[in-house]
Amino acid sequence: MKPRKAAYISFPQAVPGQYTIDMDHCIKCGICEEECPT
């Protein structure tokens, strides 16, 4: 298994494919908030 990034899709079959933020790996840069449409 490879290490997970801070933002990832929980599992490939997820509908809709929503990203999850792993707060243990988040560096609080805010880029995901700028890019996320929701």
Q: How far apart are the first and last CA of the chain?
A: 30
Ramachandran category for residue 30: left, alpha or beta (phi over 0 → left; psi -120 to 50 → alpha): left
User: Is the pTM value of this prediction over 0.85?
Assistant: no
Total domains in the chain come to 1
Cβ contact 1:26 at 8 Å: no
Residue range(s) defining the domain that contains residue 37 = 1-38
CA distance 19 to 14: 10
**pLDDT of amino acid 8:** 84
CA distance 38 to 20: 13
The 10s digit of each residue's pLDDT in 1-38 is 667 788 888 888 878 778 888 888 889 998 888 877 76
